[in-house]
Copies of this chain bind each other. A is one copy, B any other.
Amino acid sequence: MSEAQAPAAPLYQQVRTVLRRQIESGQYSVNSTLPTEHDLARSFSVSRATIRSAISGLVSDGFVKAQPGVGTLVIRTRPQTRTATLRGLTEDLGVKGLTTRAVVLKAEFAIPSPLVRARLELFADERVLHLVRMRTIASTPFALVNSYVPESAGISPDEDFTGPLYALIERSHGLPIGHGEDIIAARGARADEADILQIAPGTPVLYLRRTAYLEHDKPVEYVECAMRSDLYEYCVTLPRSQNV
């Protein structure tokens, strides 16, 4: 091959894409079956293993369900409901088609409170980067965000914090964030929050506390966030526990 072309995707991915498009375009309707794996192998001129690999992807995507002795059943024409994933507020709103800006009110190293120290599993003398940001939708403030990141994360107070914080953390560590835990409560806005969020003190706000972890369960971020509930609601899609 002397051609210097964009490398072709693996065969099984190509097949998966084709089948997926056919399903999404209604060529195979719900409750109908795909052609048999042998037939697909013939018509795509690939081995059956390749077809199985492609179908396996469609199963993960929730499009089809394999039934031994019957066939490969189409169970959905749209991709499976996306399961809950951890997103920063910037990304979350991005998904909803809203653009948001962060205004940095404070960015400095500080001695963590005992609560923050416990959440981040810090040693006694470790400092944290304390970040206070306000987020707006269409120039209306809707969230006051307190973020705490261990000093060891190597993020400087001088960085640009108007974008997604997660991106900075992931870049700094070279490691992706593994998972997070959210705790959500409702309470009345405190005076300082009310002032910034432009609401009356005591107005019910969503109060989110999140701890984010790296892959090896090492905490990298603790966030406390007060949000105007009239501008933002917390949404999550939950899979039913599969008794693994």
Residues of A within 8 A of B (CB): 30, 49, 60-61, 75-76, 81-87, 176-188, 204-207, 213, 215-217, 229, 233-241, 244
A178–B240 CB distance below 8 A: yes
B76–A239 CB distance below 8 A: no
B residues near A180, Cβ cutoff 8 Å: 237-238, 240
Task: Select one of B81, B205, B206, B233 contacting A179, CB under 8 A.
Answer: B81
Task: Select one of B30, B176, B205, B235 contacting A181, CB under 8 A.
Answer: B235
- Smallest CB–CB gap between A134 and chain B, Å? 18
Known contacts A206-B184, A216-B30; decide if A179 and B229 are in contact (CB<8 Å): no
Q: How many copies does the complex hold?
A: 2
Which secondary structure dominates where chain A touches chain B?
A: strand
B residues near A217, Cβ cutoff 8 Å: 76, 81
Known contacts A60-B244, A76-B217, A244-B60; decide if A182 and B229 are in contact (CB<8 Å): no
Give complex CA distance A187, B232 in Å.
12
A81–B181 CB distance below 8 A: yes
| Nearest neighbor of A187 in chain B, beta-carbon distance | B204
B239–A86 CB distance below 8 A: yes
Pairs across A and B, CB under 8 Å, 14 listed: A60-B244, A75-B215, A76-B216, A81-B179, A83-B84, A83-B179, A85-B240, A86-B239, A86-B240, A178-B239, A182-B237, A184-B233, A187-B229, A204-B205
Known contacts A216-B75, A217-B81, A234-B184; decide if A240 and B179 are in contact (CB<8 Å): yes
| Nearest neighbor of A181 in chain B, beta-carbon distance | B237
- Smallest CB–CB gap between A47 and chain B, Å? 12
| Nearest neighbor of A235 in chain B, beta-carbon distance | B183
A85–B177 CB distance below 8 A: no
B204–A188 CB distance below 8 A: yes
B residues near A186, Cβ cutoff 8 Å: 186-187, 204-207, 229
Known contacts A76-B217, A205-B204, A216-B76; decide if A240 and B176 are in contact (CB<8 Å): yes
Known contacts A188-B204, A204-B204, A216-B76; decide if A182 and B83 are in contact (CB<8 Å): no
B residues near A236, Cβ cutoff 8 Å: 84, 181-182, 184, 236, 238
A84–B84 CB distance below 8 A: yes
- Smallest CB–CB gap between A242 and chain B, Å? 8
